[in-house]
Amino acid sequence: MSTAFEIAKRISFQKQKNYTRFIVRLSIAATAISVAAILLTFSIVNGFQATIANKVYQFWGHIRVASVSGEPLNQDEKTITGFQKMPNVKTITPFINQSTVISFAQDIEGVVARGLPTQNHIPFLRKGTGWSSTTEKDSLLNEIIISDNIATKLNVKLGNSVRLYFLNTGAVQQRKLKVVGIYHSGIEEYDNQFVLVDIKLLQQLNNNKLVEGYSIVLNENVPIEATSEAIQKILPNNWVATSIKNYYPQIFDWIGVQTINRNVTITIMLIIAIINLLTCLFILMLERITMIGTLTALGASQNLIRKIFLYQASFICWSGILLGSLLGLGLSYLQQKTGWIQLDESAYFIKELPIKMNTVQIISVLIGTAIISYISFLLPTLWIKKISPAKAIQFD
For every residue of 260-271, DSSP letters joined together read HHHHHHHHHHHH
pLDDT of 276: 80
**pLDDT at residue 302 above 70?**
no
In this predicted model, which residue has the larger pLDDT, 294 or 256?
256
* C-alpha to C-alpha distance for 161 and 148, rounded to whole angstroms: 15
Distance CA 87, CA 278 (A): 53
Q: What is the pLDDT of residue 393?
A: 54
Which neighbouring-strand residues pair with 213? 95
Provide the 3-class DSSP secondary structure of residue 222. Answer: coil
pLDDT at 96: 93
Closest CA to 72 of 196, 229, 170, 199: 199
Distance, CA of 361 to chain centre:
13
Q: Which SS3 state, helix, strand or coil, does residue 250 take?
A: helix
- Count CA atoms within 13 Å of residue 298 on its CB side: 10
Q: List, as one string, the DSSP characters of 19-67.
A: HHHHHHHHHHHHHHHHHHHHHHHHHHHHHHHHHHHHHHHHHH-SEEEEE
How confident is the model at residue 315, as a pLDDT? Answer: 81
Q: Is this structure's pTM higher than 0.85?
A: no
Residue 353 CA to residue 338 CA, distance in Å, equals 10
DSSP secondary structure, 78-143, as one string = HHHHHHHHSTTEEEEEEEEEEEEEEEETTEEEEEEEEEE-TTSPPTTEEEE--SPP-S-TTPPP-E
As a whole number, the mean pLDDT across the chain is 84
The residue-averaged pLDDT of 45-74 equals 90
Flag whether pLDDT at 16 surpasses 70.
Answer: no
Tell me the C-alpha distance between 54 and 245, whole Å: 12
The pLDDT tens digits for 355-378 are 999 999 999 999 988 888 877 777
Question: What pLDDT does residue 207 have?
Answer: 86
Is the pLDDT assigned to residue 298 strictly greater than 70?
no
Give ∠ CA 320-322-324 in degrees, rounded to 5: 65
pLDDT at 155: 94
Count of residues making up the chain = 396
**Distance, CA of 89 to CA of 221 (rounded, Å):** 12
Residues 45 and 281: their CA atoms lie apart, in Å, by: 33
Burial class (CB in 10 A: 0-12, 13-18, 19+), 120: middle
Q: How confident is the model at residue 165 (pLDDT cuts 50, 70, 90)?
A: very high
Q: What is the spatial distance between Cα 96 and Cα 106, in angstroms, rounded to a whole number? A: 28
Confidence class of residue 382 from pLDDT cuts 50, 70 and 90?
low
Cβ-based neighbour number of residue 174 at 10 Å = 12
**Model confidence at 81, in pLDDT bands (50, 70, 90)?**
confident
More confident position, 308 or 194: 194
pLDDT value at residue 1: 53
* Coil, helix or strand at residue 358: coil
Confidence of residue 250 (pLDDT cuts 50, 70, 90): confident
Q: Give the Cα separation of 138 and 123 in Å (integer).
A: 23
